[in-house]
Chains A and B, each alone.
Chain A
Amino acid sequence: MATVLRLTLKSVIMAKYFRTLTTSCWLLAVGMFFSCQEGREAGDLLGQWRMTGSDTKYISFSGSITWIKNLNETEVYGNFQHQGDSLFIQCFSKKGEATDTILIENTFGFGPFTNIRLKIDKLDDENLILSKGNQRWSFYKY
C-alpha cells in the first residue's frame, strides 16, 4: 500500500513538473517572439532591394539605417524615416569623399545628399517603387 502511494505521489510530482516545464517553454517562446526587434522601424522596407534593370545597384533598410550601394562604385549609409508613403533619407559620408555624393546624386539620381525626400508609390513583399516628381525608381527584393 505504501509503495503504491509513493508511486502515485511520484507520478503526480512528475506530471506537475512536466506541466510547469511545458508552460515555461511556451511562455519563453511567446516572450522571445514578442521581444523580437528585427527590422524595428524599417517595417515593410526591411531587406535588400535591387534596382530593376541593374545587377549592381542596391538599397537596403534595417532599423532606421539605409545602405545604398553600387557594386562598381562605392557605398553610402544614411538615416531614414518612413511614414505612410513618405520616405526621408539623410545620407552621411564616412570620410567626406566626393564619390559618396556622386553615388547618391548621379548614379542613383537621389538628392540632395542629406535631404532626400521620396514618395513610396508601391511597397509589397517583392516590389518597391519610389518617386520624386517625374522621376521613378523601381526595386525588387533580392
Chain B
Amino acid sequence: MVEFLQTTNQSGPLHCDSGDYPEPARSQISDFVTGEDNYYNHMFYNCYAHYGMTPGNPLITSPIYNKDGFAKFRDNRVKAWHVGLSGEITDRLSYLVKGSYREGWGTYAIPLASKHHSFDAMFQANYSQGPWLFSTAYAFDKGNIYGDCSTFNFKISYHGKIL
C-alpha cells in the first residue's frame, strides 16, 4: 500500500477581499482572491484539535508537539509519502512494515525558517500458535519534528470465544 499526501496549495497563498479593507484601499483592490485556507487553524477558535492532537491525520503535526505551548498548527503545508507492507512468511509467521516520510513548510502566514522533515517507520513480526499470538515490534522517528526516538514492544495475546 502506498499513499501520498500533499497539502501545500490550500487554495493559493493569499486571501484578499476588498470588503475587508476601508477606503481608499478598498477601491484600489482590483481582484477578489480567496485562498490561504490554513488547514486545521481558525482565525477565532485557534484550531481544530482534540486534546492537542490532529483529528484524523497523523501526517499533520499536532499542536501538542509545540514545545512552547502554542495552541495552533504550525506546520500544515506538507508533502508526505506512506508505504505499508504486510505478508505471511509461513502459516504461523507474519510481518507488517510501515514507513512515512514527510516534509513541511509551515503555514502561509508564518513559513518555517527551515523545512521540517521526518522519517518514521515500524517493523512488526507476529507468530501465532493456536489461540495464542506472540508479537514484537520496533519503531523509530528520525528528523527535526519529533526528534530521534525509537521504541519496541512485545505482546502476548490470547484469542478465544466468550460466547
A residues contacting B by CB (< 8 A) are 38-39, 41-42, 46-48, 50, 55, 58, 60-67, 71, 77, 79, 90, 92-95, 142
Contact = CB atoms under 8 A, between A and B. Distances in A.
B25 interface: yes
Given A93-B25, A94-B21, A48 B108 contact: yes
Contacts of B14: 60, 62, 65-67, 77
Given A38-B12, A90-B28, 7 more contacts: A38-B9, A47-B12, A60-B108, A71-B110, A77-B29, A92-B25, A95-B25
Q: Which of B12, B29, B105 has the most CB of A within 10 A?
A: B12
Interface of B: 9, 11-14, 16, 21-22, 25, 28-33, 35, 105, 108, 110-111, 113-114
A27 B31 CA distance: 30
B35 A79 contact: no
Contact of A79 (B11, B21, B22, B28): B28
B147 to A, nearest CB: 21
- Please list the 6 inter-chain residue pairs (A to B) with the smallest Cβ-Cβ separation, ordered nearest first: A63-B33, A62-B12, A60-B13, A92-B28, A48-B13, A67-B14
Contacts of B29: 65, 77, 79, 92
B112 to A, nearest CB: 8
20 contacts: A47-B12, A48-B108, A55-B114, A58-B111, A60-B13, A60-B14, A62-B13, A62-B16, A63-B12, A64-B33, A65-B14, A65-B29, A65-B31, A67-B13, A77-B29, A90-B28, A92-B29, A94-B21, A94-B22, A95-B25
Contacts of A61: 13
Nearest to A48: B13
Contacts of A94: 21-22, 25
Nearest to A55: B113
B113 A62 contact: no
B92 to A, nearest CB: 43
B104 to A, nearest CB: 11
A142 B111 contact: yes
A141 to B, nearest CB: 9
A58 B110 CA distance: 10
Given A48-B13, A77-B16, A92-B25, A63 B31 contact: yes
Contacts of A95: 25
A58 B112 CA distance: 12
Given A60-B108, A92-B29, A67 B16 contact: yes
A67 B29 CA distance: 12
B113 to A, nearest CB: 4
A61 B33 CA distance: 10
Contact of B31 (A46, A48, A60, A64): A64
